[in-house]
Structure 1
C-alpha cells in the first residue's frame, strides 16, 4: 500500500492527451534494481507492476523502463539479442502487456527503451555474419578486411579501440563494448526491422520510446580518422569525434520513426543526444523528428549559479527555436547520484534537494531517476561485485556506473524490501545503512526528500506557471532565479548556490527545500518557490 500524507493541492487541467509529453514528469525505472517479485535477486516486470501505486502516489505522469529485452548481459541490457521479446529474468511479453494495462488504468504512460545503434554479439544477425562474411547479415554491421592495424583511430566510449577482430581476422566496429557491434544503418534491412519493432510494442499499448544513442547510427561513409581522440568532454561529444557521431543522415531515421508514431496518436519519442552543441541537440526535436531530446547540461554542471543559469537559458533558447519542450535531466543510470556529485553528506543532500526544486519548476518535462526522490547517495560497490564494463575495460581506472544502480530501498528490513523474504542475494549488494533512505521511513517524515518531491509535484500540477509556463533566467552572484509565468500567475524559483545567506524579495512561499528558510532570507544550498502576489 502506498504511504499516506496530508491532502495536497488540486491539480490544474492536464495537457491534452496527445500532447501529454510536453509537460509530463517521467520517472525512470532501472528495471533490474527496482523491485524483485520472485526472489531471484533481480528486479522484474511483476515487481514494477506491484509498485505502480507508489508512482501514482508520488505524482509522476509516466515511467520509462530501461531495456527489458533478452540480452547478452555485457552492458546492463543495452546489448540486445531480440528486440521483440522480454528477457526471462524480467518475465515475458504478457507481463509487459499487463504492466501497460495496469499503468493505463492508473493514469500512467509507459515508455520503453530502444537501442538502435548496436546489437548484442549474440544477436542472430551478428552470429550469421560471423558464419558467412558474404551473407546479407554481414552488410548490417561495419566489417573491415583483415589487416595488421584497425581501419581508423576511433575509440570506444568504454575504453580501448573501437575495433575488434572476428575469429577469421576481420575487424568489426563497436563504439561501446566489444559485445555490442554497431549496426550499419546504410543497409535498408536495418531500418525496416526497427520499424517492425516499434510497431510491435506500439500495438501493445506503450506510449513511446526513449532512444539510446540517438546521435549515432550513421558513421562517416569513408571511415575516416577522427580529428581527435575520444575524451569525456563536459557536455558531450564535440568536433573531435566528427566522424562517429551526428552524421546528417541520422535525421531521416527520426523522420521515419516520427511518421510511425503519428499513426499511433498520443505516442512519443525522446532521444539521448549527447552532443556538445545544444543547438545541434535541439535539431533532433524538430516538428517532423523526435518529440524531445534530452538536455544534459544540468546533469553535467557543477554546483555553480552561473553554470546552472547558462544550462537553463541555453536549453530554453535552443529548444524554443524548433518549437519543442525541454526534457530536463539531473540524474540517470549513467551518472553518479546528485547527492554525491554535489559534495556528499549533509551538504550534498541539501544541494540535491534544492536542485530538485529547480528541475520541477522548469517549463517542459523533467525526468526523475528512481531513487532521486529519496536523495540517495552514490553507493559504494566492492570491486569484486561490479558489473559495469566501464570499470572492467578501464582496468579499474574508472569506477563505472554500478553505484547508481543498486537496489531501490523500500523498507527498513535487512533486504530493504527489494525482494521477498528468503530471497537470493540481490544482483548488486545492498550497502550498509541503505535502509536509512527507505520509502517507508521517508513517507513518515514530513521533512524528508520523498515528502519534498511529492509536495513539489503536487504544486507543479496545481500551478500552471510551473512546468507549462514560460521562464526567464537571472543570475545575481551566487543566486539563480528562474521566473515562471503562465495562466495569469508568476512563480519564482530562487536557488542560493553560495556559501552565505541571500536576501530574497517577497512573495507567498509555496515550498522550500529546507526548513531553515525565513521570510526574505535564503540560506546556502537552498531553493524556494515564491508565488508573486
Structure 2
C-alpha cells in the first residue's frame, strides 16, 4: 500500500462513495460493487488516499441502506461478499484504503432480531435488545414520551397484534422501519464488536460510524420538553435524553480496543470516523476523539458556515484549539450525502445556506467559483479531508427532481414540506453517452440533468481549467508539499507553528495563513481584488489572477521567498 504509515488517517483525503449513485456495473440502473471496481483506477489517479463506501449490507432500502437487515452480508443488488473482498484487495493494490459504514443506532425492522422481538413477550430478552414501552393515556393510546423522529413525526410506532389490537410502542429516532437498539444491553454491544471483527478480518481499514452521537439513551426516557428538533439532530442543550450522552464513550473505548488488536496485521490498526452532530460545541466533539476512543470526526461546524471570512476563521480556530487538547487531527468536509451540495450552498446568501432545496434563489456561477476556492482552503488546512463523489466535477444540488422520483423518507415523513436528500444523490455523469451519461447501461434510479453532459468526467478530463483538473492538481500537490502532507502529532493551538497553521494580517473578508515557513494560502471572500506578495511564487489558484491580484471568490497557494 502506498501510504503505509500507521498514522495515515491523520492527513488522509478520503473519497465518499454513495454506492447507489457512483457507477452501475450490471446495468440495472443502480450503482454497485462492480461499478466501484471499474472506477478504482480513476480514484487512484484523482489522488485520494482512501474510499468510504455507504452501506452495502442487505436492506429493504427504506432509507437508502441505512436500515440494515444483515450486517454480515452484502445486498444482492450491490454484489456478493466475494466481490466485496475482491474490491478491497484491488483497492489496496492501488494504494487505496477502504472504509465502510456501520449503522449501530438502529436496525431494519426486517432484521432477524426485530422479527424475534415482535414474536416475543413484552418482557422477553428478545425485546430487551430494542426500546419497547407501553403508551400513556387511556389504553396506552399516546406515545411513551414527546421524542420526535429526525425524519418528521413522533419517534414512536405502536404495534398491533395478529387481531389488530394495539400493543406496546417501539422507539425509532429515524424512520419507523429503523427501530433503535438498546445499547445498555450487553448482547447488543457484543454483537457489534463481532460485526467489526467480521469486516476487519476481510481487510477493511476502518468504519464511518452513522449517528455516532445517538446510541445512548436516558434509561427513564424522559420528555424533552421543547417542540422543535433540528432536522439533522444537533443538540444544543446539555443532558439531552438521546443525543450526545456520556454513555457513548464507553462504547467507543471498547471499539478502539477491537481496532487496536489488528495493529500486527499488514493493514495495521483499524480506524474510525464519527458522524457526531454536536452543534457548535467543538469541545463536545473532542470528547469523541480522546486517545482511547475514536480517531477522527467530521467537522460539520465548518461545513455549515456561510461564505464569510469571519465565520470560517472562527470555525477553523475553534476546531484546531479544541481538538489539540486531545491530540486529534481535524477532518474537514464540504459536502456529503445528507446535505445540499456546496456549489449550491455557496451560490446563496450566507444567511440562506441551510435552507431547504429549491426554496431560495441560487447563482451557480458564483457557487461554483466559491466551491473551487473552498477546495483549496480545505485541502491546505491541517488534518484530513473528505471529498464527496461529484464535488470534483463541480456538481450542484439537483433541486428540481420530479416529485414522483423522490425516494428519501424525509419527503413523506415531513408531509411533503422537505424534499429530502435525493438532490445530492443523483448518479454521477461519467460521459456524455447513453441514457445514464456513462453511469451505466440503463436509466439510473434518479434522473440526471441534461446539462451534466458538459460536467462529466470525460468532458472535464481534457480541460486544464475544469474543476476535475483543479482537484487532481491540488491533491497531487498536497502530497508533494511537505507543509501539507504531514501533521505534527498532538497539534497545538491555531496561533502557533505547532498547529501547522499561522494566521497572517489581512483584510476582514480575506483569510491568509501560513503552513511552515514558505507556504501560504490566501482566500478572498470579499468583493474587491487583493494584492498578493510581489516575491511569492503562485503554486496553484482556483481561478486566473489578473495582474497578479487575487479576485473575489478565489483562493491561491503561494510559495514564499526564503
* TM-score (normalised: structure 1): 0.94
**Structure 1's 26 and 518: CA in aligned 2 closer, same or farther, altered over 3 A?**
farther
Name the SS for the 2:182 alignment partner: coil
Looking at structure 2, the residues matched to 37 and 417 of structure 1 have their Cα atoms a distance apart, in angstroms, of 13
Matched, 1:160 2:153: yes
User: Contact conserved, 1:162 with 1:175, CA < 8 A, in 2?
Assistant: yes
Cα distance, 1:240 vs structure 2: 7.1
Looking at structure 1, the residues matched to 24 and 346 of structure 2 have their Cα atoms a distance apart, in angstroms, of 30
Show CA shifts across 1:292-339 (max 9, x none): 111112211111111111111111111111001111111000011111
Cα distance, 1:464 vs structure 2: 1.6
Matched, 1:505 2:530: no
Aligned residue for 1:471? 501
Q: Which runs of 5+ in 1 are unaligned?
A: 1-12
Cα distance, 1:47 vs structure 2: 0.6
Cα distance, 1:227 vs structure 2: 4.0
Aligned residue for 1:429? 447
One of 112, 124, 130 as aligned partner of 1:141: 130
Aligned residue for 1:273? 276
Looking at structure 2, the residues matched to 238 and 24 of structure 1 have their Cα atoms a distance apart, in angstroms, of 30
One of 25, 28, 50 as aligned partner of 2:16: 28
User: Within 5 Å, which residues of 2 pair with 1:199-218?
Assistant: 199-218=197-216
Q: Which runs of 5+ in 2 are unaligned?
A: 162-166, 348-362, 488-499
Looking at structure 2, the residues matched to 368 and 142 of structure 1 have their Cα atoms a distance apart, in angstroms, of 36
Cα distance, 1:124 vs structure 2: 0.9
Looking at structure 2, the residues matched to 71 and 504 of structure 1 have their Cα atoms a distance apart, in angstroms, of 54
Q: Which moved more, 1:25-34 or 1:125-134?
A: 125-134
Looking at structure 2, the residues matched to 296 and 363 of structure 1 have their Cα atoms a distance apart, in angstroms, of 16
Looking at structure 2, the residues matched to 490 and 214 of structure 1 have their Cα atoms a distance apart, in angstroms, of 39
Aligned residue for 2:61? 73
Cα distance, 1:62 vs structure 2: 0.1
Q: What is the CA RMSD across the aligned residues, in angstroms?
A: 1.7
**Structure 1's 241 and 38: CA in aligned 2 closer, same or farther, altered over 3 A?**
farther
Looking at structure 1, the residues matched to 51 and 451 of structure 2 have their Cα atoms a distance apart, in angstroms, of 27
**Structure 1's 241 and 172: CA in aligned 2 closer, same or farther, altered over 3 A?**
farther
User: Contact conserved, 2:3 with 2:95, CA < 8 A, in 1?
Assistant: no
User: Contact conserved, 1:120 with 1:179, CA < 8 A, in 2?
Assistant: yes
User: Within 5 Å, which residues of 2 pair with 1:181-260?
Assistant: 181-232=179-230, 236-239=234-237, 242-260=240-258
Looking at structure 1, the residues matched to 547 and 292 of structure 2 have their Cα atoms a distance apart, in angstroms, of 48
Aligned residue for 1:44? 32
Looking at structure 2, the residues matched to 263 and 172 of structure 1 have their Cα atoms a distance apart, in angstroms, of 36
Cα distance, 1:226 vs structure 2: 1.4
User: Contact conserved, 2:130 with 2:180, CA < 8 A, in 1?
Assistant: yes
Aligned residue for 1:6? none
Show CA shifts across 1:447-488 (max 9, x none): 000000000001100112114241134563110123212xxx
Aligned residue for 1:355? 374
Name the SS for the 1:427 alignment partner: coil
User: Contact conserved, 2:289 with 2:328, CA < 8 A, in 1?
Assistant: yes
Looking at structure 1, the residues matched to 233 and 220 of structure 2 have their Cα atoms a distance apart, in angstroms, of 27
User: Within 5 Å, which residues of 2 pair with 1:243-392?
Assistant: 243-265=241-263, 266=268, 267-276=270-279, 277-343=281-347, 344-379=363-398, 380-392=400-412
User: Contact conserved, 2:29 with 2:440, CA < 8 A, in 1?
Assistant: no
**Structure 1's 444 and 73: CA in aligned 2 closer, same or farther, altered over 3 A?**
same
**Structure 1's 121 and 359: CA in aligned 2 closer, same or farther, altered over 3 A?**
same
Aligned residue for 1:496? 524
Cα distance, 1:235 vs structure 2: 9.6
User: Contact conserved, 2:239 with 2:245, CA < 8 A, in 1?
Assistant: no
Looking at structure 2, the residues matched to 479 and 418 of structure 1 have their Cα atoms a distance apart, in angstroms, of 40
Looking at structure 1, the residues matched to 143 and 291 of structure 2 have their Cα atoms a distance apart, in angstroms, of 40
What is the count of residue pairs matched by the alignment?
A: 515
Looking at structure 2, the residues matched to 326 and 426 of structure 1 have their Cα atoms a distance apart, in angstroms, of 36
**Structure 1's 41 and 234: CA in aligned 2 closer, same or farther, altered over 3 A?**
closer
Matched, 1:94 2:98: no
Looking at structure 1, the residues matched to 502 and 231 of structure 2 have their Cα atoms a distance apart, in angstroms, of 28
Cα distance, 1:493 vs structure 2: 1.2
One of 545, 550, 556 as aligned partner of 1:522: 550
Name the SS for the 2:311 alignment partner: helix
**Structure 1's 205 and 123: CA in aligned 2 closer, same or farther, altered over 3 A?**
same
Looking at structure 2, the residues matched to 77 and 61 of structure 1 have their Cα atoms a distance apart, in angstroms, of 25
Name the SS for the 1:465 alignment partner: helix
User: Contact conserved, 2:148 with 2:229, CA < 8 A, in 1?
Assistant: no
Name the SS for the 2:482 alignment partner: coil
**Structure 1's 249 and 241: CA in aligned 2 closer, same or farther, altered over 3 A?**
closer
Aligned residue for 1:8? none
Cα distance, 1:249 vs structure 2: 1.1
Looking at structure 1, the residues matched to 233 and 547 of structure 2 have their Cα atoms a distance apart, in angstroms, of 36
Cα distance, 1:518 vs structure 2: 3.6
Name the SS for the 2:72 alignment partner: coil
Cα distance, 1:503 vs structure 2: 2.1
One of 463, 467, 473 as aligned partner of 1:445: 463
Name the SS for the 2:518 alignment partner: strand
Cα distance, 1:436 vs structure 2: 1.2
Cα distance, 1:136 vs structure 2: 1.7
Matched, 1:483 2:520: no
**Structure 1's 234 and 172: CA in aligned 2 closer, same or farther, altered over 3 A?**
closer
